[in-house]
Structure 1
Amino acid sequence: MNRFRCFWLCVWLSHAAWAQSGTRPLLVGASTLPSGELPLREALYHFEDTTGKLTIEQAVERQKKGQFGLSSSLTVRQDFGYNTAVQWLYFELETRQKASLMLEIEYANIDDLELFSIRNGVIQSLGHTGDRFVFSQRPYINNNYVFPLRLLAGERTGYYLRFDRPNAILSFFIRLWPRTIFLHTDRDEYFAWGIYIGIICLVLIVAVVMLLATKDRIYLWFGLYIHFMTMHLFSDAGLGFQYLWPNTPHINEFAPVYLYIWAAMIAQLTFMQFFIRQTAQESRIYRWNNGFKLIVLTTLLVVIGIQLSDVAGRELFLYKFIASATRYFVIALITLTALSLWEHKRRSSLRQQEKLVRYYTYALLIQFSGFVLVSLINLCQDKGWPLPFDVLTYVIMGVTVFLDIVFFSYGLAYRYRVARQTNRTLELDLLTAHQQTQQRVIGALEEERQRLAQDLHDDIGPTLSVAKGYLSVLTRTEKTDRLMHAQTLLDEAAHELRTLSHQLMPRHLEQTGLAEAIDETIRKKSGMGTQFQFISLGDVKRLPAQTERLLFGIATELIQQVQHHSQATEATVQLIYHPGHLNLTVEDNGPAQPAHHDERSVPHLLTKAEFLNADLVIEANDQGHTVMLTVPFPTT
């Protein structure tokens, strides 16, 4: 019976003590959440200081008087909406054994933050920090605000958290962790950030390489979009302050979270214009897009200018203006992008372009879904509406940016592949047109050669024969030296005419083949200065008639140049048939200076070689000259 009375007396005393303090302590080690953190939500008490001048001693007095009310948040997120006052949170911890804890404020953009502890009536500050102080002033180096807590066995300690972020939305997560679990979770979070940033850097390097290789500015704007969105995430998560400007907290006053998202909008819209090849000549939305980009850029510069001007009351004006402008900019961006894609799809007649636009639309739906979700969360926070779930906006944006990278990178790869296929088709068409033009020109030249040969054979040849007949009659009665010399000249002219006519239009080329035609030409050249030798090796393979005529023309041209210009005494012509190609080689023992390959003949030979898809090699040394033509056999 006495034990029963003692039990109820203890219960009554503990209840009386709790009623006097007005708060319920959190027993450390009694329970934990699935994540490993301690359930701090039902142990938090809140007080709003509208004057902004409340000291810690005055806050303690108000807490003892029961003026701190239990936090109404349904989650570990504390939502205060649009804030104009200084906020206080209070909680008590009790432990039966020694404990090392970490209090984490998961929000990087609080201006002023200080944690006090009350132990045995002694008030102690555990850290005074915020994004208006240098980063090294934080009690624990972390992108969020973290305060180490140390409890002794059987000790009950009260904690007062004072935070101030006027003229802005104030919403953050407050978590209490056992130190070992926090260190493990924090390490995993930084590791995930490292992988994420590594992927971003890799994508940016690829974008720079593609920009330098292709000179296509779409990769510049793609890289700028990824950069600005990453800097937005860095600013929102506190990593920018930690790693980029830790000793310049003044940068945080410019609201880089919003300014970077505005710059990303400009880059995003320009990237879209390059992606769908939107131009002023083909699109009526083009000027609206450029006008929107100019408005965003002007607004960005105005905000920076106002912040630099140090005008009184600018914080209140800037935040409301920036928040409202961001929402309107998001709506305008979505509208202009949708109109641009609809217009391009309506005008595009290429199936590949339609597929590209459709794919880009799917990617934008994911991106804009993230923007809209973040805007709705910000609206709920602005109005102070409680959210039924715990999620950080930069986590949503991080996932959105990652999906952007995946989808847009694939879209750029597909766009590059389509562009290469288009360029390859254009190059093939151009090459085909060039070959057809060459073929028509060479065909016309061949017809002209045949006509000239026919005229020489039918007109000038008979005329020379008649003149020779008249001279023959005269030499019968009067044999003078002049008449005999004139008859010799006529004989040489007739011989040269027959040779030239044969070279221009060999009668038996189509019947006997290339080797026999060249051999016949060389036999007719024998005994006329240079001693020629002809060699033909390999299994003879007939080529198209036009190809053989061109090769015969090249061979006779080279033979004539050796005979008249090289000052050579010996020359060799080789025609060698290989399994896949044909070699035509002309060698002589003339002087080292290739006088017979002058500025007119070499381009002429190169043109014919190009038409035949052949390789032409011309060499000159002390032993003479060598011209080798390698002609591939046509594929069947």
Structure 2
Amino acid sequence: MKIALTLGVVCFVICAAWAGPVQPIRIGNQTEWSLSQSAYLYTTPQKLSPQQAFASIRQVRLAAIKQEHINLGLQAGYVWLYFRLANEGAAKTVLFTLDRIDIHYVQAFRQRGRAIDTLALTGDALPFSSRPVRLNYFAIPVKMAAHEEADILILLEKKNEYISGNIGLYSASQFLQKVRTDSAVVAFFLGIAAFIFLFNFFLWFSLDDSVHLLFMAHQVAIVSFVLINLGYGFEFLWPTFTYSNSLIMTMVSGIWASTNLFLIKKYLNLTATSSRFYRVVHWLAWYILIVSIVGCSLSLLRPASVPAYILKLGLSLLLIWIIANAIVLVSVFVEQVGKRNQAAYIYVAALSFMLISSVVYTLTLLNVINAGSYTTDWLIPSFLWEETILAFGLTVRYNRFRQQYFTLQLSLAHEQTRTNEAIIQAQESERQRIAADLHDDLGGTLATIRRRLTDIRQHLRDPQAAHELDALEPLIRQSSHDLRRIAHNLMPPEFARIGLRAALEQLVQSQPSQPTRFSFVVAGSEYRLATDVELNLYRIVSELIQNINKHAQAARTAVQLLYHNDHLTIMVEDDGLGSRAVANEGNKPGLGLTSSQLRAEYIGAQLWREVSLGGTLVMIDVPYATATHTLRTEPKQANESMSVT
């Protein structure tokens, strides 16, 4: 009997010590007080009234929190946070804060003696106006009288979902300073994001490159996720839409993850041939996008009555896509870095912070580790890091593509020059061959025909037949003359010796006086250019004269050579149909004009053509190539002219 009584007394003493009053947080002149080892958590399977909850404090085992980030994992019951306050000075107000914005019910009670009063009845399940402090996260003011002690009990209810967040206890002045600092950080984040967005908008608008459009969509998803996660969505966009924050955050995080995968595919130029993970990235992006939008949208129709198994399924899908997304990203980066894809290095640097944060966040959700405030504080710096590095990478990508474009344009220009050179050389070779064939073959044949006709004429006795043969003589003579003129135009004899001026003079002199009267004018001291340059100028002028004879219906035409100190100007002007002929033929340039422009570009000359009702003016400016200048003769008198009638 004595032994039993003794054991009972010992158990009573132990229980009394175990359930005795906790040490209060002493409120002095500090600006912030730690809740670590001073606040306690316990869970009840059923919801208790404030009286029952305070009464049960001495009947349950309380677990002191070890740090000011609570991570309770998936909770099926009701979580109570308890701590005592002892004001050691004058009356003041302290504020309890909780930065997790999607807890459905946050109810705060205070017990002084036997009196229990309510400090807050708020939460995600109630309109935003229910918050005692209209702020993007939970802030509960506690007014303390001088030298007052009080027990504080806070209910955190989010059944069948994860409960976590950072808690704190601040003086009123420190709380205001914290609000100002948080607002400044968010404003800085939005300012940087807006600058990067506008920069990429102008790049997309000017380049029409879809990678910038994807980046802007990804950036909008990032900014939306950050602001919603910080509670600004509930504060400003849907203050009466209850039970919605978790679902909307999940949906926006899915959009962020999917746009990130789409951006990676475009940014790294992933194709079915360049990456074995191309299809995985493609379909995972669509899977995350569809599941997050469709699933969360359906749940938002009746957010307060979503069954527990649906919530668990959604959380499982969330963890699956976080893990799958991380695995795919790492696999793609390893592959592309191995292939020396420079864009992959930039993207790895941009997402390094985010990948580490995702892993830590996932392990925290699974209650494997408790990463403390890092699970929420990583949001803004990691996203700023990602946006800045990716924007820098897009700038590098743009500069690289621009350099490649200029290199390609230069290569195409060189190739075009070589092609033009080959075409012109082929034309000249063919002209020389045709001119030689006409002179040697057809010219000799006509001479033979003429001699044979002369011999036949001498043996004819029939006057009529002799008269017919005599009539053929002028035709043959004209044919020989035309043949020499055509051969001369194809390749002027001794062009390399006589030069451009003399060749053009002969060309103008060879033109018939009707219906167009041609004049030839030379001004300045003659300078010889390279033979191929002069030959191409001759071809251009010859083509222009041929066009005038065919189409212009001009009465007068002037061909002028103006030798300046540093360049030669050739002007071909007529008083023909001009713009009337252009209107009749359409705006498309003819083959001759196209060939002339091609030759001008080939020799580095500039060709202008002005057409009016009074006729047509074509000007050709040819810069002197100093290394090839050769003065052919003594300078002739300026303004020397010659007219051909």
Q: What TM-score comes out, normalization by structure 1 length? A: 0.83
- 1:377 paired residue number: 364
Q: Deviations over 1:296-354 (max 9, x none)?
A: 345435633662575998453244334433333333223333333444455x5xxxx53
- 1:609 paired residue number: 597
Of residues 591-600 and 559-568 in structure 1, the stretch that sits farther from structure 2 once superposed is 591-600
Equivalent of 2:332 in 329, 340, 347: 340
Confirm or deny that 1:287 pairs with 2:279.
yes
Residue 294 to residue 106, structure 1, CA distance change in 2 (3 Å): closer
Distance 1:166 1:118 in 2: 26
Identity of counterpart residues, as a percentage?
A: 25
Residue pairs, 1:354-373, within 5 angstroms? 354-373=341-360
Distance 1:231 1:623 in 2: 67
Of residues 440-449 and 562-571 in structure 1, the stretch that sits farther from structure 2 once superposed is 562-571
Q: What one-letter code is carried by the residue in structure 2 that aligns with 1:22?
A: P
What displacement does 1:401 show?
1.8
- 1:108 paired residue number: 101
Confirm or deny that 1:405 pairs with 2:393.
no
What displacement does 1:121 show?
4.8
Distance 1:440 1:375 in 2: 67
Residue pairs, 1:545-560, within 5 angstroms? 545-560=531-546
Residues 116, 159 of structure 1: 8 Å contact kept: yes
5+ residue gaps, structure 1: 1-17
Distance 1:519 1:184 in 2: 92
What displacement does 1:605 show?
1.5
Residues 75, 162 of structure 2: 8 Å contact kept: yes
Residue 429 to residue 622, structure 1, CA distance change in 2 (3 Å): closer
Residues 167, 315 of structure 1: 8 Å contact kept: no
Distance 2:19 2:543 in 1: 119
Residue 543 to residue 70, structure 1, CA distance change in 2 (3 Å): farther
- 1:92 paired residue number: 85
Distance 1:546 1:468 in 2: 37
Question: Counterpart of 1:240 in 2: which secondary structure?
Answer: helix
- 2:415 paired residue number: 433
Residue pairs, 1:13-28, within 5 angstroms? 22-28=21-27
What displacement does 1:205 show?
3.3
Distance 2:120 2:435 in 1: 106
Distance 2:299 2:203 in 1: 38
Confirm or deny that 1:258 pairs with 2:250.
yes
Of residues 436-445 and 113-122 in structure 1, the stretch that sits farther from structure 2 once superposed is 113-122
Confirm or deny that 1:330 pairs with 2:322.
yes
What displacement does 1:452 show?
1.8
Confirm or deny that 1:629 pairs with 2:629.
no
Equivalent of 1:505 in 488, 491, 499: 491
Question: Cα RMSD between the aligned structures?
Answer: 3.6
Distance 1:547 1:609 in 2: 14
Q: Deviations over 1:156-184 (max 9, x none)?
A: 44433222121122222222222122112
Question: Counterpart of 2:545 in 1: which secondary structure?
Answer: helix
Equivalent of 2:163 in 150, 160, 170: 170
Distance 1:338 1:490 in 2: 89
5+ residue gaps, structure 2: 1-16, 628-645
- 1:10 paired residue number: none
Distance 1:501 1:266 in 2: 73
Residue 601 to residue 195, structure 1, CA distance change in 2 (3 Å): closer
Residue 55 to residue 611, structure 1, CA distance change in 2 (3 Å): farther
Distance 2:374 2:235 in 1: 18
What displacement does 1:455 show?
2.2
Confirm or deny that 1:461 pairs with 2:443.
yes
Distance 2:317 2:253 in 1: 11
Of residues 263-272 and 333-342 in structure 1, the stretch that sits farther from structure 2 once superposed is 333-342
Q: What one-letter code is carried by the residue in structure 1 that aligns with 2:77?
A: A
Of residues 559-568 and 484-493 in structure 1, the stretch that sits farther from structure 2 once superposed is 484-493
Q: What one-letter code is carried by the residue in structure 2 that aligns with 1:234?
A: L
Question: Counterpart of 1:199 in 2: which secondary structure?
Answer: helix
Residue 390 to residue 92, structure 1, CA distance change in 2 (3 Å): same
Distance 1:38 1:634 in 2: 85
Equivalent of 1:76 in 58, 64, 68: 68
Distance 1:62 1:76 in 2: 24
- 2:49 paired residue number: 55
- 2:560 paired residue number: 574
Residues 533, 571 of structure 1: 8 Å contact kept: yes
Distance 1:259 1:561 in 2: 72
Distance 1:450 1:540 in 2: 26
Residue 519 to residue 337, structure 1, CA distance change in 2 (3 Å): same
Distance 1:579 1:69 in 2: 105
Equivalent of 1:421 in 380, 390, 403: 403
Q: Deviations over 1:583-635 (max 9, x none)?
A: 32111223445549967973322233134325443333343321223445679
Distance 1:287 1:465 in 2: 80
Residues 43, 70 of structure 1: 8 Å contact kept: no
Equivalent of 1:44 in 17, 28, 39: 39
- 1:130 paired residue number: 123
Residues 346, 390 of structure 2: 8 Å contact kept: no
- Across the two proteins, how many residue pairs are aligned to each other? 601
Distance 1:43 1:635 in 2: 92
Q: What one-letter code is carried by the residue in structure 1 that aligns with 2:70?
A: Q
Residue 454 to residue 320, structure 1, CA distance change in 2 (3 Å): same
Distance 2:410 2:524 in 1: 34
- 1:143 paired residue number: 136
- 1:517 paired residue number: 503
Residues 572, 587 of structure 1: 8 Å contact kept: yes
Q: What TM-score comes out, normalization by structure 2 length? A: 0.82
- 2:13 paired residue number: none
Distance 1:75 1:345 in 2: 40
- 2:377 paired residue number: 395
Distance 1:355 1:634 in 2: 44
- 1:192 paired residue number: 185
